[in-house]
């Protein structure tokens, strides 16, 4: 597999992984994928989802959207009772014991555009092989990148298990 890098060069991804999001009762129409491409100096991450909840502020002052998302410790996406979906995925993946906002698995927030989000970003915090078997969680609210240990992003609305592609 190759990635176009500039108008004339092609850079080959040496290893790739992907994950398909499973929705929860909190966002029943959510679906999408995330792909990881190992490049010479880090990993390109491409995410696309649809069915994200509309932005709003709740009665208790919490915000729905933009949506925090992160790599989590365990590759388990069990919904459970539906009130606290995907607790089975564990906490944020943090292999080098950093404070929240600097976890290797902390990603930029997803901004919903009429329920859709699409984003590509680059990270040098891990290699594709490091994250195989882990999960990616999309949260109900935004990540503040400060609250410990996990950014106060709210409930988990979608989960995906990272597998080699």
Give residue 67's domain range. Answer: 10-164
Question: Does 5 map to a domain?
Answer: no
Is residue 143 within 8 A of residue 106, CB to CB? The reply is yes
Predicted structure pTM score: 0.89
In a domain, 1, yes or no: no
Inside any domain, residue 4 = no
Structure tokens at 56: 């709003």
Digits of tens for pLDDT over the chain (165 positions)? 545 555 545 556 689 999 999 999 999 999 999 999 999 999 999 999 999 998 888 777 788 889 999 999 999 999 987 788 999 999 999 999 988 788 899 999 999 999 999 999 999 999 999 999 999 999 998 887 776 666 567 899 999 999 999
CATH number where 77 lies: 2.60.40.200
pLDDT tens, position by position, 32-71: 999 999 999 999 999 999 999 988 887 777 888 899 999 9
Note whether residue 3 is domain-resident: no
Number of domains in the chain: 1
What pLDDT score does 31 carry? 97
DSSP the chain: -EEEETTTEEEE-S-EEEEEPEE-TTSTT-EEEEEEEEETTEEEEEEEEE-PPPPEE-TTS-EE-SB-EEEES------TTSSSTTGGG-SB--TT-PPTTS-TTB-PPBPPBTTEEEEEEEE-S--HHHHTT-EEEEESS---S-STTTTT--SEEEEEE-EE-
Asked, for residue 2, whether it belongs to a domain, the answer is no
Q: Would 75 be classed as within a structural domain?
A: yes
* CB-based contacts of 49, cutoff 8 Å, min separation 6: 21, 30, 31, 32, 33, 110, 116, 117, 118, 138, 158
- Residue 95 in any domain: the answer is yes
């Amino acid at each position: 597999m190759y990635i176009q890098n500039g108008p004339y060069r092609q850079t080959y991804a040496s290893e790739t992984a992907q994950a398909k999001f499973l929705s929860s009762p909190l966002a029943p129409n959510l679906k999408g994928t995330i792909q990881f491409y190992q490049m010479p100096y880090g990993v390109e991450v491409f995410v696309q989802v649809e069915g994200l909840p509309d932005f709003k502020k709740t009665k208790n002052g919490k915000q729905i959207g933009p949506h925090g998302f992160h790599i989590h410790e365990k590759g388990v996406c069990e919904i459970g009772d539906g009130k606290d979906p995907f607790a089975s995925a564990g906490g944020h993946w943090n292999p080098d014991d950093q404070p929240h906002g600097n976890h290797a698995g902390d990603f930029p927030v997803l901004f919903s555009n009429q329920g859709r989000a699409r984003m590509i970003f680059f990270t040098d915090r891990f290699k594709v092989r490091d994250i195989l078997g882990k999960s990616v969680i999309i949260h109900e609210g935004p990540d503040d990148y400060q609250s410990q240990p996990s950014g106060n992003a709210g409930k988990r609305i979608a989960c995906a298990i990272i597998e080699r592609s």
